[in-house]
Amino acid sequence: MKKFGRIVFSFMVVCCAASAHAQTYPDRPIRLIVSIAAGSVTDVIMRSATVELTPLFGQPLVIENRGGASGIVAAQACAQAAPDGYTLCVIYHSTMSYNPLLFDKLPYDPDRDLVPVARLFFLNEGLFVSAELGVNSVAELKAMAQAKPEALNYATLGDGSFPDLFLRWMNNQWGTKIVGVPYKGGGPAAQAVASNQVQLTRFGIGNFLGLIEAGKVKALAVSADKRSPLLPNVPTLAEAGLGGYPGQGWWGLAAPKGTPPAIINKVNAEFVKVFSDPKFAVFLDKQAVVPAPTTPADFAAFLQEDRKAAESLIKIANSKREEYKPQ
């Protein structure tokens, strides 16, 4: 009986300590791990968001970019961080849905190591080519790729990333052998296409708008159901004859598993406040993304469905499981 009493007392002490911690949170800067390189559209969005979030939290949010390897490097850093609310993680579809289906020996488990905080936004993506390539439509790109099966390179975020899966799917559809080249974010990938280091890619539209205006990159198609107001003369993938690819890119927020629920709820409330603000929505529209903030519970439910969609997409793309090998 005394032993039971000690257990109950210890539990109450832990609960009281967690509650007190949540009430004073945050009392120092918060690290925000972003699973993409600096300069990419998601990085730009999150840096703008931290300006709005800092007065809400009363503490600065300090971005730490951990790009590359389909988000695995960033997810590992997040999983290994203390679950105290002072490390938050900007994650995406690869982190939670695709990596566990594509890789063995991952250094993190999305279900065991991470707790969903909020979905933040969906991506509007496009198929882009270097202006030096000299093609003006998806049909012309297909003809070139079929005539020169291994002559074209395509920027990805690494094996198993969303751009990589689209490439595998496209190669299967066209009977081509376009080669994937990994980059650490949409910004570096866009610059690689502009300089013709790689000839094409599929990424968020926001990474390419300035390069399109400068005449260095051409947009051949957009991934949405309807044309983007940012690129009104560019057809959708379906209109361009490359429809049928399922799935949509998204970004959200997670924390190390074990982070107190009260802190999760506070973080969710502040991020949702910013990503629901009409003025911030105008900014997001210019980045070619769609705000879609959720509660933690709704994000968790969304992730279950997204994992199912990932399974279907991986089957369509004919992708095989591989052993993850750190670079």
Same domain, 212 and 167: yes
Which domain range does residue 256 map to? 2-18+27-123+248-323
- The candidate with the shortest Cα–Cα distance to 95, out of 121, 69, 118, 120, is 69
Under DSSP, the state recorded for 109 is -
Same domain, 115 and 134: no
Q: Is residue 104 part of a domain?
A: yes
pLDDT given at position 5: 54
pLDDT given at position 3: 52
126 CB contacts (<8 Å, ≥6 apart)? 202, 203, 204, 205, 208, 219, 220, 221, 222, 223, 228, 231, 234
pLDDT given at position 15: 47
325 CB contacts (<8 Å, ≥6 apart)? none
Same domain, 115 and 257: yes
Same domain, 33 and 76: yes
Digits of tens for pLDDT over the chain (327 positions)?
555 455 444 444 444 445 555 679 999 999 999 999 999 999 999 999 999 999 999 999 999 999 988 899 999 999 999 999 999 999 999 999 999 999 999 999 999 999 999 999 998 999 999 999 999 999 999 999 999 978 999 999 888 788 998 999 999 899 999 999 999 999 999 999 999 999 999 999 999 999 999 999 999 999 888 889 899 999 999 999 998 887 788 999 999 999 999 999 999 999 999 999 999 999 999 998 999 999 999 999 999 999 998 998 888 777 888 999 887
Q: Is residue 241 part of a domain?
A: no
pLDDT given at position 19: 53
Same domain, 91 and 158: no
How many domains, in total, are found in the chain? 2
Task: List the end-to-end C-alpha distance of the chain, in Å, as a whole number.
Answer: 54
Using CA atoms, how far residue 41 sits from 125, 177, 197, 282, in Å, is 11, 28, 20, 15
Tracing tokens 């600065």 back to the chain, one arrives at 60
Same domain, 116 and 100: yes
- The candidate with the shortest Cα–Cα distance to 170, out of 200, 191, 209, is 200
